[in-house]
A and B are shown apart, each in its own frame.
Chain A
Amino acid sequence: MKKRSFIVPVLLMLVFITGCSGDNTNQSAKTANSDTSSITASKDSAKTAATNTKASNSQQGAEVIVKSTGKLSSKEKQAVLNDVSQELDTLVQTINTMEDASDEDLNF
C-alpha cells in the first residue's frame, strides 16, 4: 500500500513534466517557424533585415529567432523589376494578338 502511494504521485509527476516539455518544444518550434520564414528564404534577407534576435532555451538547445521588418534584398528587388518588365512584354503581346473584324467580313 505504501509502495503504491509512492509510485502513483511519481508517475503523475513524470507525466506532467513530459507534457510540459513537449508543449514547450512545440511552442518554440511554432514561433521559430512563423517568425523566421525569411531566414530560409534567403541569406541576404537575414543579413539586411533589421534583426531582433533572442535566444530561447529549450531542451534541444538555443534557437535564434529573427524577426523580419519586410526589407527586401537586392536580389528580391531585382526580381520585382524583372517581373514588371516581363508582365509588360506579355501584355503588349496579348494586345497585338487580339483579333478584329477584317475588311472581307465587313464587305456587304
Chain B
Amino acid sequence: MIKKVATSLLIMIFLLGMGTLAYAGTDTGNTATNKAAALEQKKEALQQKIQNRQTLKADIQPLLDQIKANRAKILQLRAEAAEARTAATQHIKDLKADNLTDAQIAALKQAKESLKQARTDLSDTKGEIKNEMVIMKAARKEQNEDQVKTSLNKIIAIQQNRMELIQNCIDDMKQIQAI
C-alpha cells in the first residue's frame, strides 16, 4: 500500500516537473522569436537608411559636382589674381612718382577705391560657406533632404558670387598695369 502511494507521488512529481520544463521551453522560444523579430526590424531600418542615403546621394550628386568644380575654378582664379598682383605691383614700382600725370594719379586713385570695395565685398562673404556647411550637416543627420539641397545650392551661389568678385579684382589689377 505504502509502495503504491509513494509510486503515485513520484509519478505526480515527475509529471509536474515535466510540465514546468515544457512551459519554460515555450517561454524561451517566445523570447528568441521576439529577439529575431527585433533584429529583423533593425536590419530593415538599417537597409532603409542605406537606401535613403543612396537616394539622397544620387539626388545631390550634381550639386556636389558643381561645388567641386567651382572650388577648382576659385583655385584657378586665385592663382590668376596672384599673377595679376605681381604684374601690377611691378608696374607700380616702374612708375616714377615725379613723372606721373594728373590722369594717371586719378586712375590710380580710382583703382585703389575699386580694389578696396572688392576686398570689402569679398570679406563680407567670409564664413558664409562654413555656416552653410554646419546647417547642411545637421540636415543630413536628420535626413532632411530638402534642407540639404537648399544648403548646397546656397554654397554654390556663394562660390559663384566669389568667382565674380575675384574676376573683377583681376580685371582691376590688369587695368592698373595699363596705367
Q: Jot down 22 A-B pairs with beta carbons below 8 A, ordered by A.
A: A71-B102, A72-B105, A75-B97, A80-B109, A81-B92, A81-B95, A81-B97, A83-B112, A84-B115, A85-B92, A88-B115, A88-B173, A91-B118, A95-B166, A95-B169, A96-B78, A96-B82, A98-B74, A99-B127, A99-B130, A100-B159, A108-B53
Residue A92 lies at the interface, judged by CB distance under 8 Å to chain B: yes
CB-nearest residue of chain A to B67:
A101
- Is residue A87 contacting chain B, with contact meaning CB distance below 8 A? yes
Contact of B67 among A71, A84, A88, A106 (CB under 8 A): A106
The answer for the CA separation of A71 and B98 in the assembled complex, in Å, is 12
Contact A80 B119 (CB under 8 A): no
Which residues of chain B are within 8 angstroms of A91 by Cβ–Cβ distance?
A: 81, 85, 115, 118-119, 122, 169
Interface size of A as a range: 20 to 34
Give the interface of B toward A (CB within 8 A).
53, 56-57, 60, 64, 67-68, 71, 74, 77-78, 81-82, 85, 88-89, 92-93, 95, 97-98, 100, 102, 105, 108-109, 111-112, 115-116, 118-119, 122-123, 125-127, 129-130, 133, 136-137, 140, 155, 159, 162, 166, 169, 173, 176
A78 to B108, CA, bound (A): 11
Q: How far is B88's CA from A75's CA once the two chains are assembled, in angstroms? A: 20
